[in-house]
Amino acid sequence: MLREFIFKANKTITSSNINLKDLPGSCGRLDLVCRCVSSAFFLSHDIRRDVIFYAVFYGEPNPPVALKFVGNELKKVSPDERNIAIFIKKALKKFEETPENKKTEWTESTPGIYVAKKEFRDIILEKKNEGKRILYLHKEGKDFENVKINENEDVMFVLGDHIGIGEEDEKFLEDIGAEKVSLSPLELHADHCIVIVHNILDKRFKK
């Protein structure tokens, strides 16, 4: 099973002018993105190679900018926020240097990390059209423990930041037939949701 996650970062900076000492503030909660990347991929002394993580930034000055992290290609990335932020900074720098007519194509900045000018919805729709199952993580959804998933089924999980994904994107997900699933009756951080999803699926399929 290929596990894919997409995270909408409503305020995260879309320039490479990243202050590594202020990821939550001047960078528009870039710390949340970094924690999600860490939770998506890193095990103790290993990395999950069957995971792809997308983050779509909608902050100033040039939204949207999408990043793609591919588990089986990542090199030299470590779990801490600062290290991940450095790689994101490199990706945004690469995006700024990419010719305008190439910006909508995925461009590799460092091994396993790609950047492009893509919308949150477009990436989800692309996955839907590829036949992937779309699960929207929301506290009012169906209990994920009771959701049947085939071991060979590729799934994309949709997550929002502290602001959420917004009513329009929720309507879009409903229109394309995304399933709303819940991990808890409480509001959880997106990075915690990723850990719980991995845990549930690990127990089912990695025996």
pLDDT digits (tens, 9 = 90+) for 182-199: 999 999 999 999 999 999
CA distance 124 to 193: 18
Structure-block tokens of residue 57: 């930034």
* Per-residue buried b or exposed e for 6-28, using 16+ beta carbons within 10 Å of the residue's own CB: bbbbbbbbbbeebeeeebeeebb
Give pLDDT, residue 1.
87
Residues (pLDDT < 70) of the chain are 207
Q: Which of these, 34, 46, 41, lies nearest to 84 by C-alpha position?
A: 34
Residues annotated in a binding site for S-adenosyl-L-methionine: 137, 160, 183-188, 193
SS3 181: strand
C-alpha 145: how far from chain center: 21
Architecture of the domain defined by 3-205: 3-Layer(aba) Sandwich (3.40)
Give pLDDT, residue 206.
77
| Strand partners for 65 | 57
Spatial contact of 19 and 62, defined as CB atoms under 8 Å apart: no
The H or E element that residue 41 is part of is: helix 30-41
CA distance 116 to 92: 9
CA distance 160 to 206: 27
Give pLDDT, residue 207.
57
Q: ∠ CA(75), CA(78), CA(79), 5° rounding?
A: 135
Residues annotated in a binding site: 137, 160, 183-188, 193
